[in-house]
Every structure is written in structure tokens, then in C-alpha cells.
């Protein structure tokens, strides 16, 4: 009896967004439960996993435990559900003075003061604690085994070079995949490590750049969301035939205009707007591009389709149904006192509807009150579409209650 064709290779794309990436974990938790509800076979549903910034951290943690996907999701969820800012960056008074306060002083007084030249601050915050957390959470020593034993086909994380200006995808894969080169972006096969995750998640200005070796030289890299024109592309190049994309905001937020302020924007509002542009806007453009390509391919006759290497790729996007800036505004008081004081210096103030600069804070709010709410939202949004999710994966929910 013929077993039929194998299922298409499914890729997972996890985008950036700092603390907003907690939403991704709620989505993954819901996927585990929907699969269990459908009685579908276990194993890793995502042979290809790619991520950027905080999404790269989640992606790598899943990939390195690809032999037990449910346990991997549980382990990642435990971290996000119990997060404290101190696990990501120094939030004590001395740490903030050494980085944030000094950095803000440099901005206000200038680089002309000679004594500052001996100890130029590199970033607003010191993310040394994140290095320790990543070594515990992401077991890169298992990645080669996951690839060799067939639990995973490929993992990719992205970062942006401050030196060359290139957007670089670092990847490892089972098959020999020719590194791809596009305008202002390249791919490099490498032995992935915690350093790649620190580079990919180094939010500009907020966290320091990380040195990585590339083509025999050392370059300093920052957040992979910068200059990321095609966040879905690595999953396609690694062989995905259908792709689940988990976003961090905007695409599915409530429609309608928002009431703006007539006051001149402060530094926090400008920074939050800039970060939203870096983290959130490219995904919507890339999804629209892929949908247009799919629509065009469907119009081609079979003979013409055979002449092109392009193939339709089924894409499912799950993104927050609520504005994460508004959720963050409710939790500003959860941040450690030294961080709140520093953020007040750039204009983050108030709470709830009266908050200003909440967009900036939403990327730094690694506190459980906020991350748990994002995880809960991810679960709700995914369960609301569970029949669509099941159809995407080919899971049978027939006869189940809507």
C-alpha cells in the first residue's frame, strides 16, 4: 500500500521585538495543545527554524531540543513566564550608572570632554546577564546531533554588520545549501553559538554590538532586524515549502485611527517609533511580496511553471490582536527602579492611557507581569484560529467543537 507523498517541509519564522517575543511562546504553547487535541503524531513540526533578534533566541532553543518539541516549548515558556529584567541586562543602580546614565550624559554634554574618552559607554544597557542565561537555555552542543539524527533540517539566525552594512544570515543545515547573496544581504554557513544570538538580539543603542568572525575577518554585529528586507527568505532558502510566521505586532492589531498627541515627541517616543520601524514593518512587506508571487504563479500554465525555480509557498501569519504598546503601558511599574529612573530621563512616564514612551519600554519589559500577558495573548490568538492552524498542518480536528 502506498504511503502517499511526504508532507511538505514546514518552516518556522520567529521575528524580533525584545520582550515582545514572549508572544511567540504563547503561540507555540497553543500549537502543542492543538496538535495534541487533533491526535496528530509527535516529533518536531518545524524541520526548518529561523529567527531574528529575540526570535533568534527562541528559535535556537527550539532547534537544539528538536528531538522533543513539546519539552522544548515547555522549557522556553518557563523562562519567559518567570522573567526578570536582571536576567537580560544589569538593572541595579551601579550597572545603570556605568552604562545608561553615562551614555545619556555623553549625549547631553558631548564627546568633547576628554575624561570620558577613556571609558566611552558602548550602549544604554549592559546585557552581560543575557550571556549567562543563553548558555543555560540554548544547548548548542546538541545542534549537530539534531541535524545528524533527522530531527532538524536547518537553523538560521540573522544579524546586521555595523562595519560592512550587510544583513547576514548565519545558518547550519543538513544538506549542502549554496549560500545566497542578494542586495545588501548575504548568507554564511557557520557553527552557530551564543555569540550569534547576542549579536542578533543587540537592539541598536540599547545593547552593545557583538564581534563575529566572517570570511576570515572580525566584524561587529547588531540586531538582525536592522536592514532586514526579507525576514521570510532564510526559511525559503533552507527548503521550507510552507511557513508559519509569528510576528510581534501591527499586522493583526485592531483597525482604526489612534488618537495622537499634539505635544512635541520626546526622545523615548522617537526611539520607540524607530524601533517599531526596525522590528515590525519589514514582515508585513515581505508577506505581501510572497502573496503576490503566489498569486502570479497560480496564473502560470504548467509549461511556464516548469521553466521557473519558483514554487508557491503556503504562509500562515499569527500576530498580536492587541497593541502591545498599550499592554506595556500597564506594566511600566514592573521595571526595576533604576531602569524606570533612567527611562524617565528620556521621556518614559505615566501608566496606562496616560503613559508616554511605552513603545520603547515594550522592548525592554522583561518582567513576568508583562511577558505572561503576552504569552496569554499568543495562546488566545492561536486558539481563535485553531481550525485554520490545523488545516495548515494537515491535522484533523473534524468533529471538534469550534
pLDDT by 10s per residue, the chain, length 402: 455 667 889 999 999 889 999 999 999 999 999 999 999 888 999 999 999 999 999 999 999 999 999 999 999 999 999 999 999 998 877 766 666 555 555 544 454 444 545 556 677 888 999 999 999 999 999 999 999 999 999 999 999 999 998 899 999 999 888 787 777 789 999 999 999 999 999 988 889 999 999 988 999 999 988 877 778 889 999 999 999 999 865 555 555 555 556 677 767 777 777 777 766 667 777 677 777 776 777 777 777 666 676 677 888 999 999 989 889 999 998 998 888 888 887 778 766 666 677 788 888 999 999 999 999 999 999 999 999 999 999 998 865 544
Element (H, E) at 317: strand 314-318
- Phi and psi at 176, nearest 5°, equal -75, 105
Give me the pLDDT at residue 114, please: 45
Question: Which H or E run includes 306?
Answer: helix 302-306
Separation between Cα atoms, residue 243 and residue 393, nearest integer Å: 10
Element holding 315 (H helix, E strand): strand 314-318
For strands 10-14 and 314-318, give the pairing.
unpaired
Q: 278 with 206: CB under 8 angstroms? A: no
Characterise 357 by phi-psi region: left (phi > 0), alpha (psi -120 to 50), beta (else). left
Whether the Cβ atoms of residue 357 and residue 266 lie closer than 8 Å to each other? yes
58: its cell numbers: 527562541
Please classify residue 1 by burial: count the beta carbons closer than 10 Å to its beta carbon, then call 0-12 exposed, 13-18 middle and 19+ buried.
exposed
Whole-model pTM: value is 0.88
In Å, how far are 269, 311, 371 from 360, measured between CA atoms? Answer: 7, 39, 15
pLDDT reported for residue 111: 47
Give dist(CA 234, CA 240) in Å, integer: 9
d(CA 23, CA 320): 8
Q: What is the torsional sign of CA 254, 286, 140, 168?
A: negative
Residues contacting 254, CB < 8 A, separation 6+ = 321, 322, 323
| CB proximity list for 263: less than 8 A, separation 6 or greater | none
CA separation for the pair 113, 149 (Å, rounded) = 58
**Amino acid 349: pLDDT:** 73
pLDDT at 8: 87
Picking from 246, 250, 272, the residue whose alpha carbon sits closest to that of residue 385 is: 246
> What was the pLDDT predicted at 52?
93
Identify the pLDDT of residue 296.
72
Amino acid at each position: 500500500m502506498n504511503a502517499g507523498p511526504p508532507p511538505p517541509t514546514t518552516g518556522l519564522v520567529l521575528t524580533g521585538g525584545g520582550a515582545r517575543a514572549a508572544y511567540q511562546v504563547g503561540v507555540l504553547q497553543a500549537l502543542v495543545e492543538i496538535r495534541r487535541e487533533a491526535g496528530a503524531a509527535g516529533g518536531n513540526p518545524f524541520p526548518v527554524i529561523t529567527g531574528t533578534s529575540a526570535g533568534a533566541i527562541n528559535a535556537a532553543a527550539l532547534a537544539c531540543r528538536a528531538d522533543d518539541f513539546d519539552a522544548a516549548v515547555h522549557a522556553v515558556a518557563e523562562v519567559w513566564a518567570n522573567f526578570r529584567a536582571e536576567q537580560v541586562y544589569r538593572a541595579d543602580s551601579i550597572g545603570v550608572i556605568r552604562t545608561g546614565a553615562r551614555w545619556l550624559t555623553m549625549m547631553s554634554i558631548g564627546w568633547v570632554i576628554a575624561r570620558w574618552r577613556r571609558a566611552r559607554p558602548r550602549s544604554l544597557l549592559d546585557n552581560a546577564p543575557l550571556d549567562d542565561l543563553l548558555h543555560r537555555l540554548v544547548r548548542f552542543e546538541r545542534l549537530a546531533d539534531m541535524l545528524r539524527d533527522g530531527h532538524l533540517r536547518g537553523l538560521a539566525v540573522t544579524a546586521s554588520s555595523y562595519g560592512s552594512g550587510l544583513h547576514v544570515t548565519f545558518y547550519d543545515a543538513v544538506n549542502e545549501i549554496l549560500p545566497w547573496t542578494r542586495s545588501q544581504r548575504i548568507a554564511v554557513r557557520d557553527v552557530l553559538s551564543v555569540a550569534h544570538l547576542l549579536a542578533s538580539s543587540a537592539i541598536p543603542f540599547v545593547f552593545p554590538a557583538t564581534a563575529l568572525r566572517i570570511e576570515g575577518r572580525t566584524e561587529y554585529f547588531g540586531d538582525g532586524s536592522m536592514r532586514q528586507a526579507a525576514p521570510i527568505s532564510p526559511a525559503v532558502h533552507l527548503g521550507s515549502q510552507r511557513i508559519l510566521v509569528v510576528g510581534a505586532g501591527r499586522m493583526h492589531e485592531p483597525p482604526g485611527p489612534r488618537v495622537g498627541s499634539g505635544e512635541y515627541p520626546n526622545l523615548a517616543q522617537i526611539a520607540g517609533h524607530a524601533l517599531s520601524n526596525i522590528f515590525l514593518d519589514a514582515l508585513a512587506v515581505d508577506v505581501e511580496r510572497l502573496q503576490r508571487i503566489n498569486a502570479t504563479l497560480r496564473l502560470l500554465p504548467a509549461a511556464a511553471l516548469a521553466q521557473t525555480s519558483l514554487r508557491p509557498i503556503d504562509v500562515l501569519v499569527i500576530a498580536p490582536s492587541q497593541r502591545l504598546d498599550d499592554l506595556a503601558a500597564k506594566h511600566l511599574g514592573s521595571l526595576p527602579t533604576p531602569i524606570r529612573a533612567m527611562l524617565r530621563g528620556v521621556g518614559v512616564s505615566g501608566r496606562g492611557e496616560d503613559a508616554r514612551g511605552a513603545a520603547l519600554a515594550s522592548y525592554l519589559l522583561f518582567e513576568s507581569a508583562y511577558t505572561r500577558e503576552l504569552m496569554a495573548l499568543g495562546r488566545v490568538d492561536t486558539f481563535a484560529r485553531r481550525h485554520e492552524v490545523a488545516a495548515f498542518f494537515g491535522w484533523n480536528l473534524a468533529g471538534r467543537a469550534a
